[in-house]
Structure 1
C-alpha cells in the first residue's frame, strides 16, 4: 500500500481474480477494499454504523495496481453518506468501481428487535460446492461450504475469508462480510456456468444488524428474465442469526 495524489495505492494479488476471467477481479475484493476506505473515514465516530452498502462495477477491474479514495458525500449528525471509488493506476483514468454507504447513528432498540428469519445452523458441506471447481483466483481465498437443501429451495452456502484484505492488517467484521457477499450470484446460480455467463453489475447490501464473526451464510436464489437480464437476491446470516439482505443485477449471455 502507498499514497499518491490523495489516493491509497494497492497491488492486486492473483487471489482477486474472477472465476469468469483471470485478468479481471471478482467483485468481492473491490467491495471489501472500498468498504475499508469508508470505515477509515469514521474511525472517530463509533456511534455510526453502516446500514447499506452498494457496489457499482463501472468497468472491468484489472488484476493490477489500483488506487482508492473515499469522501463524505452527505454529512450529517444522525445520517451521513460516504462514497469510495477505485481506479486503475495504469490506463484510462476513470472510476472502475464505486461504493456508496449510508451510515446511521445507533440507539438502543433492543426491546423492539424483530427478525423475519430464524438463525441458520451449519451442517455437513456438500462435496461439490459450486460450478467453478478448480478455477484459480478469488475462489481459492474463501472457504465455501454448500449446504444440502430440498429441491426448489434457495441454495445456502456458509463462507469465510481465508486471507487478509490488505497485507497482514486485521479485518473488521464488515470487511469480512464484504469479502464474501458479492458471491451471492454464484451461490444462487440458476444457470449452468458452462452454458451461460451471468455477471453482476452491482451488489446492494442492507444490514439491520451489524455483522459479527468470521463466518457468514448466504441463502440465495437467481431469477432470470426472458431478455438477458436477471436478479439474484439473498438473505444474509452470521452465526447469531439473520443480519440483512443483498440484491444483484445480472447480465445474462449464452456462451
Structure 2
C-alpha cells in the first residue's frame, strides 16, 4: 500500500494543497496519447504530494494492453512494477516498448515519468497467447465470502480529505486496516481510472493489489514503516466484475525485510496472486 521508495525523500508537488478543491471525475484525465493528469484521488496516505501506487499500477497495465501494436490474442499473465521514487500528483507521461516478441509470449515494458523527467515507476509485463481451443480449467483454492456478505469498512485515519482512501470502497471479510494480522478485503473503485473512459476489470485488480501490505499490516502504523519498493501480480484467469479481493498475509524478518503475499479473487473465485517486498524500520 505504501507508494514510495523512501518516504524521507518525498517532496510535495507545488500546488498539491489546491488539488482537494478541484472537482475530479476519475483518478486521471487523459491529456493526449500517453499523457495524463493525476487527480487528488490518486493521493496516498503518507505524503500529500505523492500517489498511492495502486492508480499508477493500473494506468501502466492499461498502457501495456492498449498500445497500438498490442495483439488481441494475448493477455497479461504477470506484471512486475519497480517503484523507483515517489509518483507525484500532476502531469505524467507513459512510454511502452516490446522487449521480446514470440508466437506464444511477449514481454512489454512501460515507464511512467513526470513530464520531461526520469521515470518514477516501471512495469514489465509477460503476455501469453490465449489458447485457440479450450483446455481443462483447474482453479485452485476456495472462494472467499462475497462483498455483499459484509458492510463497508473505513480506511485507517488519513490526514487529508481526498485521496485513494475516498476513491475506493473497502469491505473486509477478515481483519481491518487497524487490526494487526492477516486480512481479506474486497475493493471497488468509486470513480473511473480515466475520466470519460470505461473501467476494465484488469484496472480494478491492479489498482487494488498494491494495498496488500496495508490490508495485512502486522506492525503498528504509528511506530513502524513497511514500505514496498515493488509489486508483482500473477493472473491465471482474466478478472470479471466490479470487485477485486485481496487476501493478504505479511511476514517480517528481524533484519527489517518483509513480504506481503496475497491471493487475488473476483466474485467468481480465485484469479491469481500478488507479492510486495517490504522495507521495515522504526519511524
Above 0.5 in TM-score? yes
1:174 aligns with 2:202: yes
Aligned to 1:99: 123
Q: Which moved more, 1:114-123 or 1:12-21?
A: 114-123
| Alignment root-mean-square deviation, CA | 2.1
Q: Distance in 1 between matches of 2:135 and 2:61?
A: 30
1:165 aligns with 2:190: no
Q: Could you list the per-position Cα deviations for residues 95-139 of structure 1 after superposition, in whole angstroms to 9, with x for gaps in the alignment?
A: 100111100111167553222211122222375x44345654111
Deviation at 1:33, TM superposition (A): 0.8
Among 119, 131, 135, the residue aligned to 2:156? 131
1:26 aligns with 2:55: no
Deviation at 1:157, TM superposition (A): 0.4
Q: Distance in 2 between matches of 1:84 and 1:44?
A: 13
- SS, match of residue 185 in structure 1: helix
Among 12, 17, 27, the residue aligned to 2:43? 17
8 Å contact kept, 2:182–2:218? no
Aligned to 2:261: 233
Aligned to 1:78: 104
- SS, match of residue 112 in structure 1: coil
- SS, match of residue 29 in structure 1: helix
Q: Could you list the per-position Cα deviations for residues 138-195 of structure 1 after superposition, in whole angstroms to 9, with x for gaps in the alignment?
A: 111111111146x997311000111111111101211121121111111111111111
8 Å contact kept, 1:131–1:192? no
Q: Distance in 2 between matches of 1:74 and 1:44?
A: 13
Q: Distance in 2 between matches of 1:20 and 1:229?
A: 20
Aligned to 1:215: 243
- SS, match of residue 52 in structure 1: strand
Q: Distance in 2 between matches of 1:132 and 1:110?
A: 47
How many residues are paired up? 248
Question: Which runs of 5 or more structure 1 residues have no equivalent in the other structure?
Answer: none
Q: Which moved more, 1:173-182 or 1:235-244?
A: 173-182
Question: Which runs of 5 or more structure 2 residues have no equivalent in the other structure?
Answer: 1-29
TM, length-normalised to structure 1: 0.90
Deviation at 1:44, TM superposition (A): 5.6
Aligned to 1:120: 144
